[in-house]
Amino acid sequence: MAPLHPPARRAALAVSSVVAGLGLAVSSMGAASGAAAYLYVGGGGCSDTGAGTASVPFCTIAKAAKVAVAGQTVLVSSGTYTDEVFPWHSGTSGSPITFQPAAGATVTISGARHGFTISNQSWITVSGFTVRNSTSNAFYVYNATGIRLSGNTARASGQRVSGATAYGMYLNSMTNSVVTGNLVTDNSASGIYLTNGSTGNEITGNESSLNAYGYVRNAVGIDLRAPGNLVSGNRVHDNEDSGIQSYPGGDRNTIADNVSYHNKGFTTVKLSNCNAPSTGNTAGCITGDHGIDDYAVTGSTIVGNTVYDNVAAGINLEGVPSGTSSGFTFANNVAVDNAASCPNGAGGTVKCPRTRGNIRVDATSQLGTSLDYDLVYLSVSGGTMMVWGSTSYTSLAAFQTASRQESHALQVDPRWTSPSQGVFTLKAGSPAIDSANSGAPGEPAKDAAGLARVDDPATPNTGAGTRKYDDRGAYEYQP
């Protein structure tokens, strides 16, 4: 089907600057022998029986996906398309197949089953598309390597009805791929979902928010059911369940420099697996869960994250089989006001209904778990600071004595710029500045904003490792 609102196509001469701006080397993208470098979609005079040239473009992205081969770039004119994009061929490591809007174009795929399905094909890049109102997952990848999904929006996939829900991005048996800079929001299942052995992937710089099933508390910002991936620099907030979670299958992941906040709310619908406020308001329940949740997984690193104002324990490790070493390292995180107070649905607050603490390690998960250089804080008195085993502690000092962990931790206000507005950069004089351990496993050389670590001349260096001036939490203070 032709786009519903196709404008005039942009000049092909402008394309090279867009390609370069997306970090794709034009010189390495030579099309397969005899193939044109670009295929065009949308605009006046289009025809799916043509050759996809600038003068006679294809009408549908699906047609271009059927014929595109290694090294070709599919350029799509502005408009709303309704076809599912299903590439028929693979690119190569040096010559991927690339799908992107034409220069200056805004492209939406609406109402398709999947916006993009990449199944049993590899080395494909998809950048800059909005997929909304898909009947199934907005982006579906299966048995593929070398995939790059960047700068896309996945919004309102599926329906909040049992049997009709859908993920923003469902990544199944995907390896050595990159998912970066996407907005994944308001979907009817988890935002980004990795499963079935997906490994060696980088999930970086995405925002995943407001995802909800609507009838059961279960939607997560980023859901890891597969091992050996890097999850870094993402912002996850206001999801129906946890911000980031690793569940069985999700071993040996590195979760670094993410911001997970306000995965918490109140709904007047009585959801399954959801607690009503302690006031006895059975007409609704408190949604949300942990900032970062790890259940029955081993060998992961949780480093340099900022975790704030979630319903349950901010950073949580539980369910490791008794007698098994968890192999978990927690370091350089900042966790504040988690499980401190929850909405009651009437404009007030109640005690949060689930697990407590800024950081929690349950009784079967202590073996092989290492915690140090974290910063924790509660802005109100009477809450739980830490949980170790089956014991809760109201102060870091009591936790340190009992657990012999966190010898370099701090219990102090991190002095964020504006946490109520979701701004977690550090103010001058923050105790998080120049006090982290740069030698902690998985500690990134850059922060969540992609800025290099920098020494603040006004702050003594009290950190450890090669750089004794790394900052705790997701953002590096820039003096």
| Domains in the chain with CATH codes | 1-96 (no CATH), 97-426 (2.160.20)
Q: How far apart are CA 355 and CA 411, in angstroms?
A: 20
CB-side neighbour CA atoms (13 Å) of 360: 26
Residue 17 burial (CB < 10 Å; 0-12/13-18/19+)?
Answer: exposed
Q: Which residues of the chain have pLDDT under 70?
A: 1-30, 32-34
Task: Identify whether the C-beta of residue 396 lies closer than 8 Å to the C-beta of residue 413.
Answer: no
Q: Is 307 helix (H, G, I), strand (E, B) or coil?
A: strand
Torsion angles phi and psi, residue 63, rounded to 5: -65, -45
Query: What local confidence, expressed as pLDDT, does residue 30 receive?
Result: 59
Task: Answer whether 213's CB lies under 8 Å from 201's CB.
Answer: no
What would the pLDDT profile of 157-212 be if each residue is shown by its tens digit?
A: 999 999 999 999 999 999 999 999 999 999 999 999 999 999 999 999 999 999 99
Residue 280: its pLDDT value, please? 72
Question: According to the model, what pLDDT value does residue 32 have?
Answer: 66
pLDDT value of residue 413: 98
| 357, 396 contact by CB (below 8 A) | no
Residue 378: both structure tokens together: 């509660």
Cβ neighbours, 10 Å, residue 87 = 26
Query: Whole-angstrom Cα distance, residue 38 to residue 12?
Result: 9
Report how far residue 246's alpha carbon sits from residue 251's, in angstroms, rounded to the nearest whole number: 7
Residue 20: per-residue pLDDT: 34
Q: Please give the Cα distance from 154 to 109 (Å, whole number).
A: 10
Minimal CA–CA distance to 165: which of 190, 182, 192? Answer: 190
* Angle at alpha carbon of residue 352, lines to 274 and 308, rounded to 5°: 105
Radius of gyration for the alpha carbons in the chain, expressed in angstroms and rounded: 24
The predicted-structure confidence for 249-286, as pLDDT tens digits, reads as follows 999 999 999 999 999 999 999 899 998 888 777 788 99
Through-space distance between the first and last CA atoms of the chain, rounded to whole angstroms = 53
Q: Could you tell me if 251 and 230 are in contact, meaning their C-beta atoms sit under 8 angstroms apart?
A: no
